[in-house]
Structure 1
Amino acid sequence: MTKIEIITRSNKFEDLKEALSQIGVTGMTVTQVLGCGMQKGITEYYRGVPYETNVLPKVKVEIVVCEVPVELVVETAKKILNTGRVGDGKIFIYDVSNVIRIRTGEEGKDAL
C-alpha cells in the first residue's frame, strides 16, 4: 500500500479529481492548506498599496492505493497539473505499513 500526497493549485482540483476517478481511485482526503516553495509568495495590491502574501492557498489531496498502480496516479496527476509555471505543486510518495477500518476492525487491503 502506498500513500500519495499531492499539493497543488486550488483551481486544478476538480480536473484532478475527475482524472483520478477515471483511473479507478475510489477515495481521497482533501484539505485546504497554505504554503510556499520556490514561489516565495506574491505581491498583491489593495487600494493601490502593495503588500506581500508569503503563503498561498493550495489544496492537498491524500490518496492511499494498493490496486491502482502508483505510477499511473503520478503520471495522471503530472499531466493534469502541469502548467509549466512556478507553483504547480509537489507529489510525495510514502509506504503505508497498515490500514485499519475503525468501524469493522478490517485491516490491510480490506480496510480500503
Structure 2
Amino acid sequence: MKRITAVIRREKLEDVKYALELEGIEGMTVTDVRGRGQQMGIRESYRGMDYCVDLLPKVELEIVVDSGDLERVVETIIENARTGDIGDGKIFISDVEDVVRIRTGERGEKAI
C-alpha cells in the first residue's frame, strides 16, 4: 500500500476530487495548509504599501491506495492539478505498513 500526499492549489481541489471519484477513489483526507517552494511567495500592494506574502495557501490531499493503483492515481492528480505555472504543488509518495479500520477491525487492503 502507498500513501500519496499531494499539495495543490486550492482552486484545483474540486477538479482533482471529481477526477479521482471517476477513477473510483473516494477516500481522502483534505487539509488547508500554507507553504512555499520555488514560488517564494508573491508581492502585493495594499493602500500604497508593498508587502510579501511568502506562505501561500494550499490544500493537502492524503490518499492511501493499493500499490497497483498508484500510478493511475498520481497521473490523475497531475492531469487535474496542473496549470503549468510555478506553484502547482508537489506529490509525495511513501509506503504504508498497515491500515486498520476502527469500526470493523479489518486490516490491510480491505481497510482502505
Q: Note whether the superposition's TM-score is higher than 0.5.
A: yes
- Residue 5 of structure 2 aligns to a residue in which SS? strand
- The CA RMSD measured in Å over matched residues stands at 1.2
Contact 2:16 2:80 in 1 (8 A): yes
Map 1:18-37 onto structure 2 (within 5 A): 18-37=18-37
1:107 aligns with 107
2:7 aligns with 7
Query: Segments of 4+ in structure 1 off by > 2 A?
Result: none
CA spacing shift, 1:10–1:68, aligned 2, 3 Å:
farther
The one-letter amino acid of 1:102's match is I
Residue identity (%): 53
- Residue 40 of structure 1 aligns to a residue in which SS? coil
What is the alpha-carbon distance in structure 2 between the residues aligned to residue 88 and residue 68 of structure 1?
25
1:57 aligns with 2:44: no
Shift of 1:103: 2.2
CA offsets per residue over residues 4-57 of structure 1, 9 Å max, x none?
Answer: 111010000000000000011020000000000001111111112111111000
Shift of 1:68: 6.0
Task: Tell me the TM-score normalized by structure 1.
Answer: 0.95
Q: Across the two proteins, how many residue pairs are aligned to each other?
A: 112
Q: Structure 1, unaligned stretches of length 5 or more?
A: none
Q: Structure 2, unaligned stretches of length 5 or more?
A: none
